[in-house]
Amino acid sequence: MYNQTEIIKDTSELGADGELVINMGPQHPATHGVLHLVVTLNGETIKKIEPHLGYIHRSIEKMCESLTYRQFIYVTSRMDYLSSHINNLGCALLVEKGMQIEVPDRAKYVRVILSELTRIASHELWLGAMAMDLGAFTPFFYAFREREMITDIMEDTCGARLTMNYIVPGGLMYDLHPDFQKKVKAFITQFKSKVTEYEDLVTNNVIFQSRTKGVGILSAEDAISYGCTGPVARASGVSCDIRKIYPYEVYDKVEFDEVLETAGDSFARYMVRVKEMNQSIRIIEQLIDNIPEGDFVGKTKNVLKLPKGEFYTRVETARGEFGVYVVSEGGTTPHRIKFRSPGFSNLSVLNHISVGSKIGDLMASMGTLDLVIPDIDR
Amino acid sequence: MFSLEGITTNVQDWLLMKFNPTMALAIECVIVILLSISLFAILGLVLVLMERKVAAHIQIRLGPNRVGPGGMFQTVADTLKLIMKEGLTPDKADKFLFNLAPFVVMMVGMLLLAPIAFAKNFQIWDINIGVLYISSVSSLSVIGILMAGWASNNKYSLLGAMRSGAQIVSYELSAGFAVLTIVVLTGSLQISEIVNAQQNGWWIFKGHIPAVIAFVLYIIAVTAETNRAPFDLAEAESELTAGFHTEYSGMRFALFFLAEYINIFIVCAIGATLFFGGWMPLHIGNWEAFNHIMDYIPSSVWFMGKTFFLIFLIMWFRWTFPRLRVDQLLNLEWKYLLPISLFNLLLVAVIAILGWHF
Amino acid sequence: MFLKEYITDVVTGVTSLLKGMRKTGYYFTHPKEIITEQYPDNRATLLMSDRFKGEVVMPHDANNEHTCTGCTACELACPNGTIKVVTKFETSPEGKKKKAIDTLVYRLELCTMCNLCIVACPSDAIKMAPNFEHSVFDRTKLTKVLNQPGSKIREGIE
């Protein structure tokens, strides 16, 4: 393990000569999408990273301005496609908050269970992709085996595997699938029996540990000042779990721990996500047998009109705080809408945490930031 | 009993009967060249398929299974595709070096084939400094990679080539030391003598712990030398897209690809020769009946079996471990492998002098 | 002291690697764990979830009748103009004029399977079908007319 600050001092003494500028992406195996990094190198050592965005900009916020409050929810699935259910939930919560719609308990419970399943699925995919970034190909397939069970549950209940669009303002689109509880329980048993595999293959692996420990260190102050949220900030010891601070739905009724690490390096970020999966399992276990009977959707008007004013809601996606800000003029469509996506703030620390490290470290720190490019670019 | 030994003597006798000795030698050369080229082609096809199947089964997949029974002809189809493809040369590349590099890498593989004993008395060239020859020629492969990386005029290629240079030069050391332990035990550099010395037991059993340590070091070092994961920094996919062969396409890419697998075969063949007795059957002490049964298995089968076991081991590494970082790679060599192999060599020397081995 | 640390480093490192190799070795030697689905071959036994949102279809009964009244609720609910309802006026035998659909044009290439049209439909005339093999060589084939030729609205549906 080498001292990062030492190398920073080392590179700053060198002149502009010998700089090597590499364009990583938009097509690059490690950028997971169309992220374009302009990396300035001195040999193998990184001097500067400049992310270039805009390759997958679809102006979702502008699109939402022409969609009604029922319609704009589905577009948000296409932003952070790995936690599409949680994005939908954030938007639905905003409409419900603005119009004071009562949501039945059954819908609340199901929403939370599906959110946590989505979180596990997202973390599973991240785990596989992260290991792949570091050169281990096999954990990807093991992680996908478990993720497949979740997508099957989603397919059964919501009718789609990735972009669910199961949430409507006031509740759910349709009732749960009869097999839902059985399948979720089967998944929990499978997941618990396979967690040791990740430990053997990834967590305890000496190469993996040396690749991630002490790499990409982000201090708590920097995490706050860059606006990091989610596992990235929690790995630096910043308590920022929206589920704890501003509980929505039934998160105040369930017991779970906010996972905090203090090291702030890539390994801490890795551990936060792995432990978070276990916490999500804990939440699901508490709720799955207690889903109340009753309606799955509350009574809403046919045409939804938000009262005049400004509204903001936030939810905790797999990557951090997802905020929806709507300015309403009282019509059927939002006047102005802004999404606060967690990926954008998390990406902004990339330059800060990887200056002075090697190209290989860039993969470790970028992998643990868990970037989803459509979420950053919208 | 079927033996390759008989065939070679028969061919030699027949040629000497028909032609004068110089002519016979020339014809033998042609036969050997043809044989080694066809061996390369077959090895490439088999090993690529094997790699894909091993990877698939480790990753709970099925692997290629569409072309031919069980996907047997998948690599044939892939090769056909690669031959058909246009071989692009980048505009600002050094065209001569760019086109030469794949052949240099292949040539090194071919040269290394010479001293390998494929079966009993079936060897192209039983040179008396066989092991020295192998370790010196195998270090040439870095030249081809550096050539490819430099000539491509691509930053990824350049970085990959430089990494590969640092890596192969350092790992050459511990591979050499691991080979030396066996040389110390045998007292000879000649491949045939090393094999014959293992008549009553392979070195990995006879040589006590130092031989086992040497074997482990050897496997690690050659994995690094052939640029295989977890040491595939020269072509680290997630970092440098494809490293030194980023700009190669078509048949020239296929040559690099083939050379990688040929190199694996060769280092594993050498490993099998040094530590597992080459074509020597497994003999256990005084179990006469058992030894006799083992003798019935042809020596070429023994050799291939051992080699493919080692190849499987290297593939197993690749599909299990993450990649090391470039400074950790060099740390591992200079701080761990090299001191251990130096110490190991000392240990082996003591054992050899005192005659503690069987 | 240094030597002890060095040796424990090596030993723990090697054991962690061996543990990983044991895991992958287990899967290599247990082909039963393979989860590959050989898709085009298992088409006959492939079970799709009954709720899977593959495409919008309009169910017709044995008399070639559907329940679409042509109210255009689905067209209004659709966020991206996937559905176009073309209406016409039919004259019933009693001489009354009645609104009915001429064609219900569904553009699969625009559809995001958000299910909003199905929720909006007051007479359950359309539903999602679990078909997923949509690829065609001609893009125009993705624009479909959902009501079958010669179909009528079922009696009693207003």
Give domain A60-377's CATH architecture: Orthogonal Bundle (1.10)
Residue B355 has pLDDT above 80, yes or no: no
Residue A268 has pLDDT above 70, yes or no: yes
* Cβ neighbours, 10 Å, residue B120: 20
DSSP H stretches of helix in B59-129: 74-84, 95-113
> What CA–CA distance (Å, rounded) separates B224 from B170?
9
Asked if residues B215 and B271 have their Cβ atoms less than 8 Å apart, the reply is: yes
* Cβ neighbours, 10 Å, residue A151: 16
Pick from C47, C53, C113, C121 the residue to mutate for testing the A interface (most A CBs within 10 Å). Answer: C53
- Under the banding of pLDDT at 50, 70 and 90, the label for residue C137 is very high
Q: What is the model's pTM? A: 0.86
The string of pLDDT tens digits covering residues B85-102 is 887 888 877 888 888 888
- Under the banding of pLDDT at 50, 70 and 90, the label for residue A10 is very low
| Facing B229 at nearest CB: one of A22, A135, A363 | A135
- Under the banding of pLDDT at 50, 70 and 90, the label for residue C48 is confident
Q: What share of chain B is helix, strand, coil (3-state, %, to 5)?
A: 75, 0, 25
Residue A7 has pLDDT above 50, yes or no: no
Token representation of residue B356:
């503690």
C135 to A121, C108, C109, C138, C143: CA distances (angstroms): 28, 11, 10, 9, 12
Grouping H, G, I as helix, E, B as strand and the rest as coil, residue A51 is strand
The string of pLDDT tens digits covering residues A71-98 is 888 888 888 888 888 889 888 888 888 8
> What CA–CA distance (Å, rounded) separates A152 from B279?
52
Q: H or E stretch including A309?
A: strand A309-317
> What CA–CA distance (Å, rounded) separates A356 from A13?
12
Residue A16 has pLDDT above 70, yes or no: no
Please, what is the average pLDDT of chain B?
Answer: 82
| Facing C36 at nearest CB: one of B61, B321, B340 | B61
The radius of gyration of chain A from alpha carbons, rounded to an integer in Å, stands at 21
Q: If 0-12 CB within 10 Å is exposed, 13-18 middle and 19+ buried, where does residue A316 land?
A: buried
> What CA–CA distance (Å, rounded) separates A211 from A356?
15
The string of pLDDT tens digits covering residues C8-28 is 888 888 888 888 888 888 888
pLDDT of residue C158: 64
Asked if residues A200 and C23 have their Cβ atoms less than 8 Å apart, the reply is: yes
User: Closest residue of A to B61, CA-based?
Assistant: A141
Q: Which residues of B touch A136 (CB under 8 A)?
A: 320-323
| Facing C24 at nearest CB: one of B61, B62, B316 | B316
Token representation of residue B352:
């050899």
User: Closest residue of B to C33, CA-based?
Assistant: B60
Instruction: Name the E strands within chain B.
Output: 117-119, 122-123
Task: Judge if the upstream peptide bond of residue A26 is cis by omega within 30 degrees of 0.
Answer: yes
Which of B47, B7, B358 lies closest to B185 in space, CA to CA?
Answer: B358
Q: Which residues, listed in sequence order, are joined to residue A315 by a DSSP beta bridge?
A: A322
Q: If 0-12 CB within 10 Å is exposed, 13-18 middle and 19+ buried, where does residue C24 land?
A: buried
Q: Yes or no: is domain C55-153 CATH 3.40.50.2020?
A: no
**Segment 71-130 of chain C within 8 Å of chain A by CB:** 77, 79, 112-116, 119, 128
Q: What share of chain A is helix, strand, coil (3-state, %, to 5)?
A: 50, 15, 35
The string of pLDDT tens digits covering residues A152-168 is 888 888 888 888 888 88
- Percent of chain B surpassing pLDDT 90: 0
The string of pLDDT tens digits covering residues B143-198 is 888 888 888 888 888 888 888 888 888 888 888 888 888 888 888 888 888 887 77
> What CA–CA distance (Å, rounded) separates B238 from A92?
38
Amino acid at B340: I
Q: Domain limits of chain A?
A: 4-52, 60-377
CB-based contact B321 A132, cutoff 8 Å: no
Residue A2 has pLDDT above 50, yes or no: no
DSSP structure class, residue A336:
E
Interval A276-287 mean pLDDT:
89
List the Cα angle B254/B260/B261 in 5-degree steps.
95
Asked if residues C126 and C57 have their Cβ atoms less than 8 Å apart, the reply is: yes
